[in-house]
Amino acid sequence: MIGWTIFNWFCFGVCLIFMFGCDKDYLSNLLKYNAATAIYIFSFVNAWRTLPWELSDDAMTGSQFLCILAVCGSAIAYIYSFFVMTMDDGLPNFKFIEKYLSIDENNPRINYKLFKQMYALHPDKFHFCNYSWDYNFIDFSLNFFDYLRASFLIENEEKGPKSRDRRKDYQRLVSEMQADLEKDLLAVQKEKEQAFQEVEDAAKDAHELFKALSKYN
């Protein structure tokens, strides 16, 4: 009983951190908030079940009475905190779904593979607002599962300096490879033109030689 009561308050403290200390516009924080809420509810149910409700006031010990107050107090404090959070930010899960529906509405849909490739090559052309995603100012959308994966990808790029540095290195690498490929294509084209010119010159020489031989004949 005492153990579940302590655990219940610990879970409530974790819930408070994700309620008010994290930006739930990020999908990773939203999932952590949902997980913390689920664990708190689990701890509250188990703590509630261990309380000695069948005992009378005279038979109840001081620690049992304090556990009852603590568990009931955590429930009241959670409900109040939840109410304050929704007054400021609304319901986080509903807001996330609302954002997806507004992005997905009447916009051309692409798959995650294309999104990931283009985001790696041209991240500056992507713009992510709360209710609009666009590439070079052309709105687009993804299916819900791809939207979740894309949200994680964007978070990792925005949060991690190592990821941003890696992306810049990747862009430099791709640019170098593209430049080398263009040089190789130009060199091949030049060789083709040179070979064609040599063949053309040889044909002219052969034609002139043939004309000269024809005069002698």
Q: For 15-33, what is each residue's pLDDT tens digit? A: 888 887 777 677 778 888 8
Asked if 16 and 81 count as a contact pair (C-beta separation under 8 A), the reply is yes
Asked whether residue 65 carries a pLDDT value surpassing 70, the answer given is yes
Asked whether residue 162 carries a pLDDT value surpassing 60, the answer given is no
User: Is 82 in the same domain as 102?
Assistant: no
User: Is 86 in the same domain as 20?
Assistant: yes
Confidence band of 132 (pLDDT split at 50, 70, 90): confident
Q: Provide the domain count of the chain.
A: 2
Q: How many helices (H) and strands (E) does the chain have?
A: 7, 3
d(CA 40, CA 46): 10
Residue 67 has what pLDDT? 80
Residue 165 has what pLDDT? 65
Instruction: Give the pTM.
Output: 0.58
Residue 24 placed within a domain: yes
Residue 103 has what pLDDT? 78
Residue 70 has what pLDDT? 83
Domain end: 126, 142, 159, which one?
A: 159
Residue range(s) defining the domain that contains residue 75? 2-90
